[in-house]
């Protein structure tokens, strides 16, 4: 019985290779070696990591199970040391040289050697398969010659030829598997980067931080460096372990110089430390100090704009960058560039919103302060005007007194509206919610406005249900909301027209409608209707006095109460305001 060389699992499916056609080729190689050279057994094993694994077997099925366990690659060295060279690849181990390798051979039944050229049961014949660098990638071993004798020169030559073909087949399969793995890693990195940059609230720093690990793992890199080309100069350089790296100003300048060129040409650059002329000598020394051997550099961008720079490093002894990895890195430059562009835009928007909020807060504070400051002198003026009105004034003075009184009243109205608007627009002013029945508010407002409507000749109608229409809110603000809408409707409805107020419950909401058949509002005016101090372009409406704050106050109150207000109107046909508030 003869033992076979170290072998890999006998079932090719257990070799871990994804390409079934490649395994079929290797199986055909093993069968051809056995049949054409004249051996009953042939085994093809390949190096996977630190193990030899059988990927193809030719011989009786009952022996396949003995070849199903991997063996250490370290067995190859003693085999090579003891074997006789029968050719560039062929090695012969005569009987007596394999005793200490017991346990790594499979013995096959065969007759004892007869004559000087007879095959001894303890003989071994194998072919060593190597890559272009001379590293062992596999072994083909044969056993039990059909003739019972050592192979002659013709058989050895044939075995050598088949071994060369098997060597190329194994190399091709390994390269294919490496490419498949590289593609899988690169695609995984792209998916992770897309996921890391997906949330709309993500910041620029967060994108840089969360993409380091997918890049390093996906490209099997020693570290990553992301540089954003903006005035802030945000940089994120880390080792594979995650430790931060502080880069010199010269290195950052290289990124700013190379990135626009790489983006314009849509290409990557392989930087060989100590060799690449595009990199300053000081940066070469900096990379050598970090034990970097090569780096894959690409630009980041979106559309015509280059936004950043990406470099992935590898150390001495790491594999070279493949074409698949280079292409994937260029594509990631687009994905990551778009993510950074989005994050940068969001940061700018957040900054703009913050500045606008600060400006709005300042405006509200200014309006409130000025209104308070105006209120006291206006009160004094109004009081003195009231005292003057009690005196016996001549007609000319009385006319001036009446004009001043009207002006003071109007100014007082503006100040009161400004103070209310400042209060309801202030997010820091809490809303004290209590139960408010909208029916009661509508009834009170209608009773107050009814006399003014009657004097003007405007019909006022109210339609309310018997059931309560309760909302949770501030009673004073709800009253002002309804009052502004109803008084505006009466003001802009000519004599003979009508105003109709209705309210009802719709699901979880209370809906209030104030409709009139008055002047109406043009589509252009409707767009600015709720802005402060807005005044219509309709000359008929301009004849009516107003502060331009009534509807702004309505909109602010509705917003504070988590509701919405809509307007439907056509010029000359009337207007309907609809307010929807959450029911209590």
- Provide the CA 129 distance to its chain's centre, in angstroms: 47
- The stretch 45-64 carries a mean pLDDT of 83
Is residue 419 scored above 80 in pLDDT?
Answer: no
- The stretch 15-27 carries a mean pLDDT of 66
Domain 185-350, architecture per CATH: 2-Layer Sandwich (3.30)
DSSP 8-state secondary structure symbol assigned to residue 507: T
Distance from C-alpha of 118 to C-alpha of 145, rounded to nearest angstrom: 10
What's the pLDDT at 565? 94
Is residue 3 scored above 70 in pLDDT?
Answer: no
Domain 12-179: homologous superfamily in CATH:
GAF domain (3.30.450.40)
Q: What is the pLDDT of residues 525-566, one digit of tens each?
A: 888 888 876 767 666 665 666 667 888 889 989 998 999 999
How big is the CA angle at 87 (ends 84 and 91), to the nearest 5 degrees? 35
Q: What is the pLDDT of residues 223-263, one digit of tens each?
A: 999 898 876 677 888 888 889 888 898 999 999 999 999 99
Is residue 129 scored above 80 in pLDDT?
Answer: yes
Is residue 11 scored above 50 in pLDDT?
Answer: no
Q: Mapping DSSP to helix (H, G, I), strand (E, B) and coil, where does residue 454 land?
A: helix
Q: What is the pLDDT of residues 204-219, one digit of tens each?
A: 777 777 788 888 887 8
Residue 84 bridge partners (DSSP) = 92
What's the pLDDT at 255? 92
533 near 548, Cβ under 8 Å?
yes
Tell me if 12-179 shares its fold with 434-582: no
Residue range 434-582, CATH number: 3.30.565.10
**Domain residue extents for the chain:** 12-179, 185-350, 359-425, 434-582
- State phi, psi for 155 to the nearest 5 degrees: -65, -40
Is residue 103 scored above 50 in pLDDT?
Answer: no
Distance from C-alpha of 417 to C-alpha of 394, rounded to nearest angstrom: 34
Distance from C-alpha of 58 to C-alpha of 99, rounded to nearest angstrom: 25
pTM of the model: 0.44
What's the pLDDT at 8? 31
What's the pLDDT at 207? 75
């Amino acid at each position: 019985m003869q033992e076979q060389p170290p072998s890999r699992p006998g079932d090719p499916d257990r070799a871990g290779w994804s390409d079934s056609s490649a395994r079929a080729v290797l199986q055909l190689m093993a069968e051809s070696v056995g049949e054409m050279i004249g051996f009953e057994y042939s085994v093809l094993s390949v190096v996977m990591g630190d193990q030899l694994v059988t990927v193809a077997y030719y011989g009786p099925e009952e022996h396949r199970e003995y070849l199903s366990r991997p063996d250490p690659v370290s067995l190859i060295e003693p085999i090579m040391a003891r074997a006789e060279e029968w050719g560039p690849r062929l090695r012969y181990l005569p009987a007596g040289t394999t005793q200490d390798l017991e346990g790594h051979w499979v013995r096959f039944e065969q007759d004892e050697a007869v004559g000087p050229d007879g095959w001894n049961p303890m003989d071994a014949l194998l072919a060593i398969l190597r890559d272009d660098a001379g590293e062992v990638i596999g072994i083909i071993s044969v056993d039990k010659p059909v003739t019972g004798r050592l192979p002659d020169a013709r058989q050895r030559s044939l075995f050598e030829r088949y071994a060369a073909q098997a060597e190329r087949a194994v190399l091709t399969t390994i390269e294919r598997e490496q490419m498949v793995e590289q593609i899988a890693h690169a695609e995984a990195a792209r998916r992770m980067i897309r996921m890391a940059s997906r949330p709309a609230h993500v910041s620029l720093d967060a994108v840089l931080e969360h993409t380091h690990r997918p890049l390093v793992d996906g490209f099997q890199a020693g570290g990553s460096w992301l540089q954003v080309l903006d005035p802030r100069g945000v940089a994120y350089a880390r080792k594979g372990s995650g430790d931060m790296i502080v880069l010199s100003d010269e290195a950052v300048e290289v990124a700013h110089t190379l990135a626009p060129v790489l983006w314009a040409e849509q290409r990557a650059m392989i930087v060989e430390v100590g060799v690449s002329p595009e990199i300053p000598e000081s940066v070469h020394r900096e990379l050598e100090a970090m034990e970097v051997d090569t780096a894959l550099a690409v630009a980041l961008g979106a559309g015509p704009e280059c936004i950043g720079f990406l470099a992935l490093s590898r150390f001495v002894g790491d594999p070279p960058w493949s074409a698949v990895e280079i292409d994937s890195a260029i594509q990631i430059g687009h994905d990551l560039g778009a993510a950074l562009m989005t994050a940068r835009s969001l940061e700018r928007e957040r900054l703009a919103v913050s500045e606008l909020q600060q400006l709005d807060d300042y405006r509200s504070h200014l309006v409130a302060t000025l209104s308070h400051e105006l209120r006291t002198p206006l009160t004094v003026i109004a009081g003195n005007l009231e005292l003057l009105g009690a005196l016996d004034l001549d007609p000319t003075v009385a006319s001036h007194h009446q004009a001043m009184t009207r002006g003071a009243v109007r100014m007082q109205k503006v100040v009161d509206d400004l103070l209310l608007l400042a209060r309801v627009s202030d997010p820091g002013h809490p809303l004290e919610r209590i139960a408010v029945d909208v029916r009661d508010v509508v009834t009170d407002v209608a009773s107050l406005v009814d006399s003014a409507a009657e004097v003007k000749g405007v019909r006022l109608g109210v339609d309310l249900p018997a059931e309560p229409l309760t909302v949770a809110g501030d009673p004073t603000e709800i009253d002002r909301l309804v009052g502004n809408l109803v008084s505006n409707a009466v003001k802009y409805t000519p004599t003979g027209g009508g105003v109709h107020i209705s309210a009802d419950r719709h699901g979880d909401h209370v809906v209030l409608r104030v409709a009139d058949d008055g002047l109406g509002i043009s589509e252009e005016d409707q767009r600015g209707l709720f802005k402060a101090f807005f005044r219509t372009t309709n000359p008929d409406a301009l004849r009516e006095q107003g502060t331009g704050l009534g509807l702004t106050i309505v909109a602010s109150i509705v917003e504070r109460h988590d509701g919405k207000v809509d307007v439907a109107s056509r010029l000359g046909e009337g207007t309907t305001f609809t307010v929807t508030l959450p029911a209590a």
